């Protein structure tokens, strides 16, 4: 797996050898970042269920100024730290060992309002509703934040995703990518 574009284009990222983490394919990651486009410059990003940290590091490579990586798996945390060092992004990165499904109130301690949030939970485990609820309840989303969720097509979004509105969905094989916004009118997306 490599960084696709930006200042770290081509930089190789480490992965866990036992494949306990399902990394997002380069094709899907590239499509997501193409859709985000100009939103990346100067943005503050949260990478939830960070795995290898590829989403947050790709965002930093493309112009984001700060990324917070949230992961609960100790092995993945080690890989994220290694990848941050490989991308020389230590000054722009914060890594938190937390379970975003069970815990809330810790993202506000970063004192950041996130412009982009990437959520890539384990498929079909009911993670979406509690995570979206925590994000909104904790007040960590910027006024025009975009929340991007990679999930199984069978793992539907909650009926009322914590006051966020689904503005776009794209299907890539068995993967569905949903784009949720709170204050962005459909015409501005």
Q: What is the pLDDT of residue 98?
A: 93
Q: What is the pLDDT of residues 42-81, one digit of tens each?
A: 999 999 999 999 999 999 999 999 999 999 999 999 999 9
Categorize the per-residue pLDDT at 160 as very low, low, confident or very high, splitting at 50, 70 and 90.
low
* More confidently predicted of 175 and 183: 175
Q: What is the pLDDT of residue 56?
A: 96
> Directed axis angle between helix 26-36 and helix 54-61, to 10°?
50
Rounded to 5°, the CA angle 125-140-15 comes to 50
Q: Does pLDDT of 22 surpass 80?
A: no
Categorize the per-residue pLDDT at 119 as very low, low, confident or very high, splitting at 50, 70 and 90.
very high
Please give the share of the chain, as a percent, with pLDDT higher than 70.
Answer: 90
- Closest Cα to residue 16, out of 60, 82, 90? 82
Categorize the per-residue pLDDT at 133 as very low, low, confident or very high, splitting at 50, 70 and 90.
confident
Domain ranges of the chain: 26-184
Categorize the per-residue pLDDT at 189 as very low, low, confident or very high, splitting at 50, 70 and 90.
very low
Q: Does pLDDT of 20 surpass 70?
A: no
- Closest Cα to residue 59, out of 7, 108, 95, 98? 7
**In sequence order, which ranges of the chain are alpha helices (DSSP H)?**
26-36, 54-61, 74-86, 128-137
Q: What is the pLDDT of residue 29?
A: 84
Q: What is the pLDDT of residue 187?
A: 39
Q: What is the pLDDT of residue 111?
A: 82
Please give the share of the chain, as a percent, with pLDDT higher than 90.
Answer: 50
C-beta separation of 51 from 23 below 8 A: yes
26-184 to CATH, choices 1.10.645.10, 3.90.1580.10, 3.40.50.150, 3.30.70.380: 3.40.50.150
């Amino acid at each position: 797996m490599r960084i696709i574009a930006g200042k770290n284009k081509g930089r190789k990222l480490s992965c866990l050898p036992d494949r306990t983490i399902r990394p997002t394919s380069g094709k899907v990651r590239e499509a997501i970042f193409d859709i985000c486009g100009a939103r990346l410059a100067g943005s503050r990003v949260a990478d939830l269920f960070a795995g290898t940290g590829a989403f947050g590091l790709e965002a930093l490579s493309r112009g984001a100024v700060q990324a917070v990586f949230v992961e609960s798996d100790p092995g993945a945390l080690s890989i994220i730290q290694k990848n941050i060092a490989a991308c020389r992004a230590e000054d722009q990165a914060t890594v938190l060992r937390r379970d975003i499904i069970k815990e809330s109130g810790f993202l506000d301690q970063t004192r950041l309002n996130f412009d982009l949030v990437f959520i890539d939970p384990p498929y079909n485990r009911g993670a979406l509703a509690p995570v979206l609820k925590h994000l909104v309840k904790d007040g960590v989303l910027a006024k025009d934040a975009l929340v991007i969720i990679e999930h199984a097509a069978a793992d539907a979004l909650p009926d009322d995703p914590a006051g966020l509105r689904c503005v776009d969905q794209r299907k890539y094989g068995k993967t569905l990518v949903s784009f949720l916004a709170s204050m962005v009118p459909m015409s501005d997306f």
